[in-house]
A = this chain, B = another copy of it.
Amino acid sequence: MRKPDPLLVTRSADRFSALGAEPRLQILRLLLAAHPEGMVAGEVQEELAIPASTLSHHLEKLKQVGLVKVRRESTYLWYSADTDALREVMNFLYEECCTRSRAVPAESVVQISR
């Protein structure tokens, strides 16, 4: 059984926590659907009908744990999903469930999807 890497566990917990609020999960879903350009904050706000300040807090949280990136384009802020972080999260689960333990068969994960 492989070495756990405490930092990865902590980082993953932080990211799960960020994904654990439905508004934020919805935000990320939107950004993924708009990948790789991402979306301007106001566009997200309009789509989800969230007050600007609340949205800003959520985006900040997602950014803080590395799940989203932001770039400025004049007055606009473009937010986009950080695929490296997402990959790391998915890999973490894959490792824990399918490699370190064999609790979940690897094939079953990438399947069902169709």
Q: Which residues in A have some Cβ–Cβ distance to B below 8 Å?
A: 1, 4, 9-10, 12-22, 25-26, 28-29, 32-33, 35-36, 81, 83, 86-87, 89-91, 93-104, 106, 108-110, 112-114
How far, in whole Å, are A112 and B87 apart by their CA atoms in the complex?
10
Please state if A22 and B9 are interface contacts (CB–CB under 8 Å): yes
Query: Taking the full assembly, how many copies of this chain does it contain?
Result: 2
Most buried by B among A15, A18, A19: A19
Most buried by B among A86, A90, A100, A108: A90
Please state if A113 and B97 are interface contacts (CB–CB under 8 Å): no
Residues of B within 8 A of A91 (CB): 109, 112-113
Residues of B within 8 A of A103 (CB): 32, 35-36, 81, 83, 86
Please state if B90 and A93 are interface contacts (CB–CB under 8 Å): yes
Q: Which of B83, B102, B104 contacts A87 (CB 8 A)?
A: B104
Please state if B109 and A32 are interface contacts (CB–CB under 8 Å): no
Residues of B within 8 A of A22 (CB): 9-10, 13
